[in-house]
Structure 1
Amino acid sequence: MDRTTPLDRPLPDEQPLYWRVATQLLGELRDGTVPPGERLPAERQLAGHFGVSRETVRQALEVLRRDGLVATDRRGSHATLPGLPVQSPASLSFPVGVRAADPGALDRARVSWETPPPEHAEVLGLAPHRPTLVHRYESAGADGRGRRTAVTSFSAVALSEVEELARYRDRADGAASAQLGRTYDWMRRAGLTLHHRDTITPLADTPSVRVTRRVHDQYARPLEITDLVVDAQPDALVYEFTLPSAG
């Protein structure tokens, strides 16, 4: 008996629900919403995304798995469509504005569990006065110039999906040192595709600039927002972006 696939599917009126979900998911895999080799979101996330039950998601994944479009191992399911492997962009460091390794720089990073700034809460969809994980970064050159201060607030989605971040809740006392430089790697390993937008704004009557970074996932769910203020008079901000060719 010939096998039916999302590429050779029944007529629309005859398609069971799981087949329609498989077709939609295949479309997202092809357009890069989930890059090749990246882990797919958990079944419960996919169920919420498509508005179906987890059993329907399992059936849809089985359709794609049968045709080698999805593979499943102990860590979950991932796309196997051909394409460029996902790289960790060197420019997407956490937090935005963090200095390259400099033995002369004075750096400090810490985390706390507190109510974020109101504008952060609004962007992240947090209720007023609801606490979350807040990361603070401070840095200055060996001569005290070029000061940088960054405040990052994480969303409920980030804390529920990224195990490494969630672990900080119980030790986020605002005093202990916190090394979250691999935050974006952790997010990607959790199956999240990262989209970021950086906005640079000069501050009136000062030599400083403000950089605001917003990061969301493949489902447009906010993950974090960072506000960085840089004394730009002796310093320069350099951002590098690499886009793979279409060929």
Structure 2
Amino acid sequence: MARTTPHQVQDQPLYRKVATQLLGELRDGTVPPGERLPSERRLAERYGVSRETVRQALEVLRRGGMVATDRRGSHAALPGEPVRAPSALAFPVGAAPAVAADRATVTWETPPPEHAEALGLAPHRPTLVHRYESAGSGGRRTAVTSFSAVALAEVEELARYRERADGTASAQLWRAYDWMRRAGLTLHHRDSITPLADAPAVRVTRRVHDQYARPLEITDLVLDDRQGALVYEFTLPADGSTAAPRSPRDPAVR
């Protein structure tokens, strides 16, 4: 007859060990409140277990109210202040706080030629394209953003949108710059604002690249109010970086 040792009695099932490790990350802020967890595949690779074990671990945390799951994945549900992107870096550039009239969607398509050139994409190569529309007291705003292959390869949260980039579901990517920084990218922005000759509106073109001068995204925003043209630049270090941010240049109206 087999004997059960004290060690065997105390030994937890593998999925409970994974749940304990993941709970530790939720509690120490590695995965902040409201932040989406890595995919089951990534978690399985991280802990060296099967995806089924990860599913069982997540179910334990869900039953305890520490993780919540919707159709876009699982996210931390422990009490605390959700991480918010810096207000100065609203995505897309010029975006107003979300209101009922806002519309934001993503598609997987060939970007405008000038976007493809800025991002170093081959002609007719598709990528993730984000469209934003807002109509409020400040006027109408429409923006088109194209992401580079680098951004999609290094920022997991953006890459996930490819599977549902059908142009129908809402896709508010206001955390985009925060996701990039969490992926270790230092963001350098260059915003050019010019009046449109044939309409009482201005166009804002934002180009973003990282610390290796690799393009990440380009946005064209049109606002239906006129103002002088200006160009300004600034750098926002990646999370955990000890480098001081580059001082913004004084905007110069041309």
TM-score, reference length from structure 1? 0.57
Match of 1:163 in 2: 156
Match of 2:74 in 1: none
Match of 1:116 in 2: 111
- Flag the 1:181–1:119 CA change in 2: closer, same or farther, 3 A: same
- Residue identity over aligned pairs, in percent, reads 80
Query: Which whole-Å CA distance do the structure 1 matches of 2:185 and 2:245 have between them?
Result: 19
**8 A Cα contact 2:195 2:226, kept in partner:** no
Q: Which amino acid aligns with 2:94?
A: G
Where does 1:55-204 land on structure 2 (aligned, <5 Å)? 89-101=86-98, 103=99, 106-141=101-136, 146-204=139-197
How many residues align? The count is 153
Q: Which amino acid aligns with 1:106?
A: A
2:223 corresponds, among 227, 230, 233, to 230
SS in 1 for 2:92: coil
SS in 2 for 1:140: strand
Return the offset for 1:89. 3.8
**8 A Cα contact 1:138 1:148, kept in partner:** yes
The CA deviation string for residues 113-132 of structure 1, in whole angstroms up to 9 with x for no partner, is: 00000000000000000000
TM-score, reference length from structure 2? 0.55
Which ranges in structure 1 are unaligned for 5 or more consecutive residues?
1-86
- Flag the 1:244–1:215 CA change in 2: closer, same or farther, 3 A: closer
- Flag the 1:244–1:122 CA change in 2: closer, same or farther, 3 A: closer
SS in 2 for 1:220: coil
- Flag the 1:203–1:233 CA change in 2: closer, same or farther, 3 A: closer
Question: Higher relative contact order by CA 8 Å / sep ≥ 6: 1 or 2?
Answer: 1
**8 A Cα contact 1:195 1:216, kept in partner:** yes
Query: Which whole-Å CA distance do the structure 2 matches of 1:98 and 1:136 have between them?
Result: 11
Which ranges in structure 2 are unaligned for 5 or more consecutive residues?
1-83, 237-243, 248-254
- Which 4+ stretches in 1 moved above 6 angstroms? 241-246
